[in-house]
Structure 1
Amino acid sequence: MAVETLLVAIGPKDYDRVERLAEETIDIATPTGADVVLAHAFTQDGFDEARSNLHFDDATPGQVATHSATIRDLEDVLEAADVEYTVRGAVGDPGETMVEVAETVDADIVVVGGRGRSPAGKAIFGSVAQTIMLDAPCPTLYVRTGTE
């Protein structure tokens, strides 16, 4: 399978996964020369809050995403490894929105982070990573860190 486009799905709680997400992204993108897309999915409330905190009243989701600490940390690691990337932002249900972004960019693989959860935890709280893994139009690489 040729990997031309790699989507890294970033959520608001991925700040503690940057190293692992970057590691896996570099391991795939470097030998394949894949285009890397860092995508941040905001809920509407999360987007409104981030835009307000940045004093960017008319900002697009992409502009707000570029100011995400997690995105910036990933950018630092990717730049140090000479991996080129673009940043996208989107607003909506995080799992469904990432699936839509994967379709839009014609991703060949999606890298998504998550924490280990009990079956009851998944049933109660849902799982963005699970939605992406089940509904993405391409294979996904699940990068697991810690437990909840």
Structure 2
Amino acid sequence: MAIENVLLAVGPTDDERIEPLAGTTVDIAGPTGATVTLAHVFTQEEYDDVRDGIGVEDAADVTSDEVARRHATIRDLRDRMRDAGVEHEVAGRVGEHGESIVALADEVDADLAIVGGRKRSPTGKAVFGSTAQTVLLSAPCPVTFVRSDH
């Protein structure tokens, strides 16, 4: 299977995982010439906080894609993709993280989705749920899980 479209999905805690996420994405997309969609998924509360933090007063003035473009995590990832010569786009979504990532993978016709996370105990998964678990079980394509604690 040729990899033409890669979805790299990040959320509010992925700022600490930029290096491993970017490295994995470049290693996969660079040699194949794939286009990477850098996606930031926000809950409504996260979105409102980020939008306020970047100085947008009227929600009608900006789209979720634009808020994602302005977010520091996406800016850092864009710089790394640009430096590596990897073609990329940016998408922003507001909603539940796992479901939004699965929908985006379908929307961009991803051949591969990349998500980050950390090792969790079985109790932690049961109590808090897991975005990565939702994506791993429901994505319409293979998923690469990148741990920052390894």
- The TM-score, its normalising length taken from structure 1, stands at 0.96
Q: Note the C-alpha offset of 1:59.
A: 1.2
Structure 2 counterpart of 1:76? 79
Aligned residues: 147
Structure 2 counterpart of 1:17? 17
CA distance in 1, matches of 2:126, 2:132: 13
Give every structure 1 segment of 4 or more consecutive aligned residues whose post-TM-superposition deviation is greater than 4 Å.
Answer: none
CA distance in 2, matches of 1:117, 1:68: 26
Q: Note the C-alpha offset of 1:115.
A: 0.2
2:6 is aligned with 1:6: yes
Q: Sequence identity, in percent?
A: 54
Q: Note the C-alpha offset of 1:84.
A: 1.4
2:88 is aligned with 1:121: no
2:90 match: secondary structure: strand
**CA shift digits 1:83-135 (9 cap, x unpaired):** 11000000000100010010000000001000000000111111111111111
**CA shift digits 1:63-82 (9 cap, x unpaired):** 00011111111111111111
Q: Note the C-alpha offset of 1:55.
A: 2.0
CA distance in 2, matches of 1:84, 1:92: 26
35-44 or 51-60: which moved more?
51-60
Q: Note the C-alpha offset of 1:146.
A: 1.8
